[in-house]
């Protein structure tokens, strides 16, 4: 059982569709930004997670597929740590890491889009 934290970002579907119209260089630049951002979120989550044995921390991952960053953990108990149970308080580590880094993602992607528009004369 894996846990992934999903943050619905307004305009994500429109962004994915728009990326198909950019040239390969712009797509590569945005993909590099997204990959770097996901790595930063993963590193932050790894710092924020409570460590007892280190297993949970070792299962935290970040992948990029179809312009979507998937950040989560594969430990069987990852969801219980993130959200808590009736016997244990939540100890979120994924959601806070994502929230911490969302402004930088927005800044980088908007910058890349503005650069593409400038280069296209728009």
CA separation for the pair 18, 12 (Å, rounded): 10
Q: What are the structure tokens assigned to 99, written together?
A: 């929230």
- Interval 27-50: pLDDT, tens: 788 888 899 999 999 999 999 998
pLDDT(97) > 90 = yes
Q: Are 15 and 67 in contact (CB under 8 A)?
A: yes
pLDDT-based confidence at 26, cuts 50/70/90? confident
Instruction: Give pTM, 2 decimals.
Output: 0.77
Residue-range domain boundaries for the chain: 3-119
Q: What phi and psi values does residue 24 have, to the nearest 5 degrees?
A: -60, -35
């Amino acid at each position: 059982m894996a846990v992934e934290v999903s943050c619905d970002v307004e305009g994500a579907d429109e962004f994915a569709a728009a990326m198909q119209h950019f040239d390969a260089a712009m797509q590569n630049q945005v993909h590099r930004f997204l990959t770097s951002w996901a790595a930063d979120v993963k590193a932050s989550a790894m710092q924020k997670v409570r460590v007892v044995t280190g297993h949970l921390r070792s299962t935290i991952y970040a992948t990029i597929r179809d312009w979507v960053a998937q950040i989560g953990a594969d430990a069987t108990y990852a969801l219980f740590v993130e959200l808590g149970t009736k016997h244990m308080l939540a100890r979120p580590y994924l959601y806070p890491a994502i929230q911490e880094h969302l402004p930088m993602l927005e800044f980088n992607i908007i910058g890349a889009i503005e650069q593409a528009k400038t280069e296209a004369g728009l």
